[in-house]
Structure 1
Amino acid sequence: MAQPTSPPHLTPQFCFSEGTLRGFLRLSRSSLDDSITQNLNALVNPARQGFDPASTSQRAPRSFTQQLDRASCQNFKDAVLFPSWQARADVLHYCGLVATSPDPDDPEAAARQVEAAKEQERVVDERLDPYSGRYLPKEPRTEQLALLLRQEKGVENIVRSRTWDVVRQRCGEPLDKWEDAFHGWRRRTGALALAATSSTR
């Protein structure tokens, strides 16, 4: 069975490092959600009743999918799937708080102030160059982080929906929406209360 995603050590530097943040999310999704069919297939125990040589005489149709044991499915969801989703949710939540908090350590803040001061002193003649009046200051890294998080939250919703469709099909999951199952697990395990008390720094 696959292993749940280990949550990273959360710091503002982790969030502001786009490569590190995206790398964590990508690795977690690829090891679990992108390979959900293989992860669920690993729950099947073909040797439970012994090997039957006749089972290899016919090839199963491509569309055949074996219904999995409910207990194995529940264990997979509780021990691997939902904890991995929670680890990613914690990262997105924490970094969302970082993106909306003051950023006194922004290394580019001084450069932006100098650039803004130069822009105020610049003489603009839009009759000679209609584009000379344009001034597009570089966004603070908190705004860049907020944009990245909006994109990643959209990706996360799509990934979870696709994963849940496969889980429902293979496990006979009665809940239509992944949100209902995930929130139910969070309430049972106390993960919901833990996320509510997290802080940025």
Structure 2
Amino acid sequence: MSKPSTHPRLTPQFCFNQTALRDFLRISRGTIDDSITQNLNALLTPAHQGFDPSSTRTRQLVTPDHGRSLQPEQCAGFKEKVLFPSWAVRSDVLDYCADVATSPDPDDPDSVIRQIEDVKARERTVDERLDPYSGRYFPQEARTESLAMLMRNERAVEKIIRMRTWSVLGERCGMSSEPADQAFDKWRATQRR
């Protein structure tokens, strides 16, 4: 069985290092959610009966369903020990970095440069008859704004990945129609006690 994602050390520097942040999310999603079918297949026990050579005589277009469904306790164990803990780690990272993105950033190394550029743009003489592009000024965005945009995108990706994982889990485990976010929230509430 796969292991849940490990919790990275959460610091503002981790969030502002978008390469490290994206790599963490990509690896965590790849080991659990993107390979959900393989993870669930690993829970299946080998056949109780021996190999039957006559089974290879004809091509079977439809796979028998009895080998694809998992026992409820196997599914519950996978959700409790691997899936939900990984989701919790990623949720913690996304929440923390979203908080960093909405907080003031006194350590922004480019803030002085942006302030100088803003002053120069205000002092500049604009004559659009001579140069129609002279009025254009595109201020560099702060790293908190860039991080906030990344967090919005990553939350949307996370939502899609969780829906897909939950649907595969539902097909293989015959679970109820409870939405993924409700099941995760219930699990999270039991972990906080």
2-side partners of 1:81 and 1:63: how far apart? 27
* 1:175/1:181 contact within 8 Å kept: no
Structure 1 pair 63–181 and aligned structure 2 pair: CA distance change class (3 A): farther
Residue number in structure 1 paired with 2:128: 126
Question: Which residue identity does 1:169 align to in structure 2?
Answer: E
Residue number in structure 2 paired with 1:26: 26
Structure 1 pair 155–63 and aligned structure 2 pair: CA distance change class (3 A): farther
Give the SS at the match of 1:186.
Answer: helix
Deviates more, 1:113-122 or 1:91-100: 113-122
Deviation at 1:61, TM superposition (A): 4.0
Deviates more, 1:79-88 or 1:51-60: 51-60
Percent identity over paired residues: 53
How big is the alpha-carbon RMSD for the aligned residues of Structure 1 and Structure 2?
1.7
Deviation at 1:56, TM superposition (A): 7.2
- Give the total of aligned pairs: 189
Residue number in structure 2 paired with 1:52: 50
* TM-score between the two structures when normalised by the length of structure 1: 0.89
Residue number in structure 2 paired with 1:85: 87
Residue number in structure 2 paired with 1:2: 2
* TM-score between the two structures when normalised by the length of structure 2: 0.92
* 1:10/1:94 contact within 8 Å kept: yes
Cα deviation per residue 1:157-181 (whole Å; 9 max; x = unaligned)? 0000000000001011113311111
Question: Which residue identity does 1:140 align to in structure 2?
Answer: A
Question: Which residue identity does 1:15 align to in structure 2?
Answer: C
Structure 1 pair 78–114 and aligned structure 2 pair: CA distance change class (3 A): same
1-side partners of 2:24 and 2:181: how far apart? 22
Structure 1 pair 159–55 and aligned structure 2 pair: CA distance change class (3 A): farther
Q: Which runs of 5+ in 1 are unaligned?
A: 194-201
Cα deviation per residue 1:66-94 (whole Å; 9 max; x = unaligned)? 11011011000000000001100000000
2-side partners of 1:133 and 1:178: how far apart? 50
Deviation at 1:111, TM superposition (A): 0.6
Which of 66, 71, 74 is matched with 2:73 structurally? Answer: 71
